[in-house]
Structure 1
Amino acid sequence: MFFDTFYDLWRIAAVGVLTYLLLITVLRFSGKRTLAKMNAFDLVVTVALGSTLATILLTRDVALLEGLVAFTVLVGLQFAVSWVSVRSGKLRELVKSDPTLLLLDGELLDGTLRRQRITEGEILQAVRAQGIGDLTSVAAVVLESDGSFSVIPRQQAGARSALRDVHPTPRRAQANRDHHQRDA
């Protein structure tokens, strides 16, 4: 069956338009960060907003005002956690992961790859996507806190100041790599 009643179709259309407008309004008040691709916490909020929208649209038992309250609670919590995490290092550590160095000066950091559950093939794909055909041309590959890869070509690495928040730091990764090479 395609639908039960015309009332259901009109309800979905009317509630859909109103809910869409309410969601856009709530998101405009909350700021750009609410839908940013920043970290796992932001992703959870984005998925929850989508799920809430679907529930409001397709479930007769959820009133439009209840949906608005749900949107407001989700966006309010996301705003509050973001606000506090900017001011508190402890909360920031809880909700946001640090970027992780996966390759340094053309050499894969095998221990880090295992800990992060990243394969060599994924690194190679990220490097190729940047139009680079040789790992020795790469200064660093970083797994960012949003799950994406940043590939820094050797000729653009400069003083590597953009890597200062990466774990392990390039200096520590180099020391660990040198230590393992001496032991081998």
Structure 2
Amino acid sequence: MWFDSWSDLVRVLVVGASAYVTVVLVLRLSGKRTLAKLNAFDLVVTVALGSTLATILLSSDVSWTEGALALALLAVLQTAVAWVTSHWPVARKWVTARPTLLLRDGSPIEPAMRSERVSMDEVRQAVRASGSGDVSSVAAVVLESDGSLSIIPAQKFGNGSSLSGVRGYGE
């Protein structure tokens, strides 16, 4: 339970160091998107990368080469999906959630908040975090596809063009 063999420990050290270098190389080669703010798809890929790394480290049934190939495959698939979704907006709908308007001109949009499972307390917290003390001074609160809340103060709303494509705005 506490110790099986020195060879197992040496394997973890050698394969672990090699797998770590492989992860760093794969992440560098796959671009900034892999480490960017995560939407649901990116989160799944990141968790899969971590799980694959753990399997390489701890399972003697998986060789470093198999693990490195699995890491590279995940990065290539993520890059391919990112390319497809950036070139075909229809595909983006299948991979990422559409942003949703939760508050407009200081008034909550209850059906949107219910469907997105966001409470008014969470909206108020985001408004406070943006530096505003008055919800009525907020033109819009948007639940972004990565789960973050964007706050647009009334004095910075302008023509609202940044809300194009947001569910609940202009529909």
Give the alignment's TM-score, normalised by structure 2: 0.94
SS of 1:79's partner is helix
Distance 1:111 1:123 in 2: 14
Distance 2:31 2:152 in 1: 30
Which letter maps to 2:81? V
Which letter maps to 2:155? Q
Give the superposition deviation at 1:165: 2.1
Give the superposition deviation at 1:131: 2.3
Give the equivalent residue in structure 1 for 2:151: 151
Give the equivalent residue in structure 1 for 2:19: 19
Asked if 1:41 is matched to 2:41, the reply is yes
Distance 1:148 1:49 in 2: 23
Give the superposition deviation at 1:59: 0.8
- Correspondences of 1:1-184 after superposition (within 5 Å): 1-169=1-169, 171-172=170-171
Task: Give a deviation string over 1:67-124, Cα, whole Å, max 9, x none.
Answer: 0110011111111111111111221110011111000110000011011111111111
Give the superposition deviation at 1:26: 1.4
Where has structure 1 moved over 3 Å in runs of 4 or more?
none
Give the superposition deviation at 1:6: 2.1
Q: Unmatched 5+ residue regions in structure 1?
A: 173-184
Which letter maps to 1:132? S
Which letter maps to 2:164? R
Task: Give a deviation string over 1:160-183, Cα, whole Å, max 9, x none.
Answer: 2211121111x44xxxxxxxxxxx
SS of 2:113's partner is helix
Give the superposition deviation at 1:18: 0.5
SS of 2:131's partner is coil
Give the alignment's TM-score, normalised by structure 1: 0.88
Distance 2:9 2:38 in 1: 36
Which letter maps to 2:13? A
Distance 1:38 1:138 in 2: 26
Which letter maps to 1:5? S
Q: Unmatched 5+ residue regions in structure 2?
A: none
Decide which moves more: 127-136 or 91-100.
127-136
Give the superposition deviation at 1:35: 2.4
Which letter maps to 2:53? L
